[in-house]
Amino acid sequence: MAHRFDDQEMRNRVSLFFDKALSKEDEQSFLSDVNQDPNFTKLFNQEKSAREFIRNNVRRPSVSPDLIQNIRNTYRH
Amino acid sequence: MSRPIKTQSDEVFESELLPHIDALKTFAFHLSYDEDDANDLVQETYMKAHRFIDKYEQGTNAKAWLFKILKNAYINEYRKKSKRPTRVDFEDIVSYHDSDDSKVPGYLDLREEIFSNMMGDEVTIAINALPIDFRTVVLLCDVEGFTYEEISKIIDVPIGTVRSRLFRARNMLKEKLKKYADKLGYKDMRGKPIGKKSASEEE
């Protein structure tokens, strides 16, 4: 009989997966569990969206060519 | 006209260190809240990397090495002159371990459709409002994709502390983003079983 995960357990596993903290074997087993349980799939997609949103929308100020040149000059002297 | 001779240090700089300048600038900016201070921090990071280049093993984790230098430079030089209060170490107040994670209601149902209605600035504001220790782990893990182990080395704390800080930081972040979700009529699902619809959703 397949193991049923409670909500907290699912959340922990989803976090570990997206944090790249699962072994290859655990990752495969995790993805298989996600595909078999609609609630797990839903949680997985929510977390994926949240992570992507944060990563894609955080402000990333540009680096000026002057800064790069100043740093290069440090290395050349 | 003769060209300057390229040294091994120059090659390491160009191929392994310089490619991380954008990520370093982002990290520096979110630590210092100031574009000029961020530029100074990045420049100082590369100066220190240059000074200690013999300590760097070619082909290893240059990004983590540079981030550690930047984090130390920030602590040593910039934190003391920061105008904003930066350090609230909740671990001094609350003894918090991984085993306690399950006691915190940590689920905010933030679905994809809500994100499309948000402006990116809201994420930046929410991240920058986090206390420094929590902001740091979110930036390192969720923005830059470092592993727990790498973060542990960069900020000099045990992996368990990295995990507990991340857990709390994400909850704080989602809490801050929640107000935007509320404005859009989004439901707070914390404490409710996954997949269970609210009464209004079922209507």
Share of chain B above pLDDT 70, in %: 64
Question: Rounded to whole angstroms, how far apart are CA atoms B64 and B72?
Answer: 12
- pLDDT tens string B42-88: 999 999 999 988 888 888 999 999 999 999 999 887 656 655 544 44
Q: Is B109 on the interface with A (CB under 8 A)?
A: yes
Is B110 close to A38, i.e. CB distance below 8 A? no
- What is residue B191's DSSP assignment? T
Q: Which residues of A touch B194 (CB under 8 A)?
A: 7, 10, 39-40, 42-43
Q: Which residues of B touch A43 (CB under 8 A)?
A: 194
Q: Residue B124: which pLDDT band, with cuts at 50, 70 and 90?
A: confident
Q: Cα–Cα distances in Å, from A67 out to A7, A13, A73, B4, B170?
A: 48, 42, 10, 21, 33
Mean pLDDT of B146-150: 96
**How many CB pairs lie under 8 A apart between chains A and B?**
115
Q: Residue B106: which pLDDT band, with cuts at 50, 70 and 90?
A: very low
- Measured in angstroms, the CA of A32 and the nearest CA of chain B are apart by 18
Q: Is B53 on the interface with A (CB under 8 A)?
A: no
Share of chain B above pLDDT 90, in %: 43
Q: Where are the domains of chain B?
A: 8-81, 90-191
Comparing B147 with B182, the larger pLDDT belongs to: B147
Is A75 close to B145, i.e. CB distance below 8 A? no
Comparing A8 with B40, the larger pLDDT belongs to: B40
Quickly name the fold that domain B8-81 has. Answer: Rna Polymerase Sigma Factor; Chain: A (1.10.1740)
Q: Cα–Cα distances in Å, from B161 out to B97, B122, B173?
A: 8, 27, 18
What residue of A is the nearest CA neighbor of B194? A39
Q: Is the pLDDT at B192 greater than 70, yes or no? A: no
Q: Is the pLDDT at B180 greater than 90, yes or no? A: no
Comparing B155 with B106, the larger pLDDT belongs to: B155
B135 and B128 Cβ atoms separated by less than 8 Å: yes
Q: Is B26 on the interface with A (CB under 8 A)?
A: yes
pTM (2 d.p.): 0.76
Is B195 close to A50, i.e. CB distance below 8 A? no
Q: What is the pLDDT of residue B147?
A: 96
Q: What is the ipTM of this complex?
A: 0.86
Q: Exposure of B84 by Cβ count < 10 A (0-12 exposed, 13-18 middle, 19+ buried)?
A: exposed
Taking alpha carbons only, the member of B121, B120, B109, B130 closest to residue B172 is: B130
Is A49 close to B50, i.e. CB distance below 8 A? no
Non-local (6+) Cβ contacts of B98 within 8 A are B160, B163, B164
Q: What is the pLDDT of residue B145?
A: 94
Question: Rounded to whole angstroms, how far apart are CA atoms B42 and B98?
Answer: 34
Please state which CATH number belongs to domain B90-191: 1.10.10.10
Is B21 close to A71, i.e. CB distance below 8 A? yes
Is A53 close to B121, i.e. CB distance below 8 A? no
Which of B137, B142, B197 is the best mutation test for A, with the most CBs of A within 10 A?
B142
Q: Is the pLDDT at B173 greater than 70, yes or no? A: yes
Taking alpha carbons only, the member of B44, B41, B46 closest to residue B25 is: B41
- pLDDT tens string A4-54: 667 788 889 999 999 999 999 999 999 999 999 898 899 999 889 888 888
Q: Cα–Cα distances in Å, from A32 out to A26, A41, B2?
A: 10, 10, 61
DSSP B63-117: HHHHHHHHHHHIIIIIGGG-SS-----HHHHS---GGGGGGS-------HHHHTT
Q: Is B124 on the interface with A (CB under 8 A)?
A: yes
Give the one of A10, A19, A68 whose C-beta lies nearest to B141's C-beta.
Answer: A19
**Token pair recorded at residue B189:** 């699902």
Is A53 close to B174, i.e. CB distance below 8 A? no
Q: What is the pLDDT of residue B36?
A: 92
Is A61 close to B120, i.e. CB distance below 8 A? no
CA angle B25, B178, B164 (to 5 degrees): 65
Q: Is the pLDDT at B131 greater than 60, yes or no? A: yes
The three-state (H, E, C) secondary structure of B10-46, written as one string: HHHHHHHHHHHHHHHHHHHHHHHCCHHHHHHHHHHHH
Q: What is the pLDDT of residue B122?
A: 82
The residue type found at A6 is D
Q: Is the pLDDT at B183 greater than 80, yes or no? A: no
Q: Residue B144: which pLDDT band, with cuts at 50, 70 and 90?
A: very high
Q: What is the pLDDT of residue B58?
A: 84
Query: What is the SS3 assignment for B185?
Result: coil
B138 and B130 Cβ atoms separated by less than 8 Å: yes
Q: Where are the domains of chain A?
A: 7-76
Q: Output the average pLDDT for chain B.
A: 76
